[in-house]
Amino acid sequence: MKKTLLYLLLLFPIALLAQEINYDETKVPSYTLPNPLIMEDGTKVTSKQEWIEKRRPEILDLFETHVYGKAPASPKDIQFEVLSENRYAINNMATRKEVAVYLSEDKTHKMTILIYLPNKRTGAVPLFFGLNFKGNHTICDDAEITESITRMKPRDGGDEIRPHAFKRGAASSRWPVEMLIAKGYGLATVYRGDIDPDYDDGFQNGIHPLFYNEGQTKPRPDEWGTLAAWAWGLSRAMDYFETDEDIDAGKVAVFGHSRHGKTALWTAAVDTRFAMAVSNDSGCGGAALSRRRYGETVGKINSLFPHWFCENFKQYSNNEDALPVDQHQLVALIAPRPVYIASAIDDRWADPKGEFLSGVHATAVYELLEVAGLPVEEMPAVDQPEMRGNIGYHVRSGDHDINSYDWEQFIKFADIHLKDKY
Ligand code: GCU
């Protein structure tokens, strides 16, 4: 008897958790999205100027205050140092550089940008740039990449720093260095743990403490979580790109898979120096509409990853309709710049349809800015990319991942939007 009771008690929360996740399109609740072209006071936005001067800053502020958190301005004392340079990388096809960005004056905190640039170039090149999960050395089986200091959640009394945790080249299927180089693009990446390790430690071990006011021990409710800190780090890399004459800083596409896809969208929203954004399987808190509550929900993401968003975002767990924004407005913040949203059909946790709909509902803003957004309202068939407008979209067959099919589409899209300019 006792055993049965215990069993039921154990099962109850599991059942509750399972119930929460909806994968049934017919059970998506009806919802009303905030209109990106209506000001919070009800005024309609009818001109480019009103969008740029009033509505865009308003939406940006809402996202900062309620979703990702406000990040500090760039430090004045930021310093760069080229740590290595080799012109004969990738079978002599590329130049590999490693650049340290010191995020504090005393040089205690640095992130290292790994950069590959095509040797076959006539001037500064366009660049794909994004975070990596496991260390710079995992993106390519190149013996000379400096191994990142991998920082992970300490387990079983173990250390946060785990040397040689990931093999050289372990993530290379996600990083088609040769393909990009052959197509005339540079590739740059930063290990996200250099900026803020991806676990909840009360914001002690990343860059947050460098910016605390006297007596402050954690970010305020409207201040940056980890995603905003990563975005901030990507902007500091952009500070460097602007100084590198081999890189065309006006043609940098910020990209990311999954949590890094969320980050890429937020980075492009905050920092208009990024010419293009690519979100791959970014899901909840990325391109997927929160109000659909399909797959991962705000409640789920806040409980699984309490450090990703600002504290204020927690108010919207199981309370999505109260959110002053939804994710189509995040896409709209990138307008008129090109943005590519990629989904995978079996990645239901990330809600492919919700990712698509963000593009649909951001389109009015693109059109106000006199460019095409997403020219279709029905989801394209699997493996049929749509790239006629400034919002591109595909849903690939298969599961949560970033693979060469995805990359081929990103490159085609970049060829349309970045290449003509060089
Ligand atoms: C988890 C998380 C997602 C995230 C993904 C990833 O699945 O719930 O929100 O996108 O990890 O980053 O791989």
pLDDT over 70 at 111, yes or no = yes
The pTM of this model reads 0.95
Q: Percent of the chain, pLDDT > 70?
A: 95
Q: Which of 148, 258, 290, 343 is catalytic?
A: 258
**Cα 258 to middle of ligand 1, angstroms:** 6
Active site residue 84: no
**Cα 23 to middle of ligand 1, angstroms:** 16
Test site for ligand 1: of 133, 296, 309, 347, most ligand atoms within 8 A of the Cβ: 296
Could you report the per-residue pLDDT of 121-132, keeping only the tens digit for each? 999 999 999 999
Neighbour order of strands in the sheet with 276-280: 79-88, 94-102, 110-118, 186-191, 125-132, 247-257, 276-280, 339-344, 391-396
- Kindly report the backbone phi and psi dihedral angles of residue 235, in degrees, each rounded to the nearest multiple of 5, phi listed first: -65, -30
**Cα 257 to middle of ligand 1, angstroms:** 9
pLDDT band at 75 (very low <50, low <70, confident <90, very high): confident
CB atoms within 10 A of CB 87: 11
Strands (DSSP E) contained in 46-203 are 79-88, 94-102, 110-118, 125-132, 186-191
Average confidence (pLDDT) over 346-366: 98
| Nearest residue to 341 (alpha-carbon basis) of 303, 299, 288 | 288
- Whole-number pLDDT of residue 236: 98
Pocket of ligand 1 contains residue 283 by CB under 6 Å: yes
CA dihedral 138→140→141→142, nearest 10 degrees, is -110
Strands (DSSP E) contained in 172-308 are 186-191, 247-257, 276-280
Q: Please report the atom of ligand 1 found closest to the CA of residue 285.
A: 9
Could you report the per-residue pLDDT of 157-195, keeping only the tens digit for each? 789 999 899 999 999 999 999 999 999 999 999 999 999
| Nearest residue to 295 (alpha-carbon basis) of 221, 371, 351, 220 | 351
Could you report the per-residue pLDDT of 18-71, keeping only the tens digit for each? 457 999 999 999 999 999 999 999 999 999 999 999 999 999 999 999 999 999
- Whole-number pLDDT of residue 420: 60
Q: Please report the atom of ligand 1 found closest to the CA of residue 304.
A: 8
Active site residue 258: yes
Test site for ligand 1: of 307, 349, 401, most ligand atoms within 8 A of the Cβ: 349
Q: What span, in angstroms and rounded, lies between the C-alpha atoms of 239 and 286?
A: 24
Q: Please report the atom of ligand 1 found closest to the CA of residue 281.
A: 10
Strands (DSSP E) contained in 38-194 are 79-88, 94-102, 110-118, 125-132, 186-191
pLDDT over 60 at 10, yes or no = no
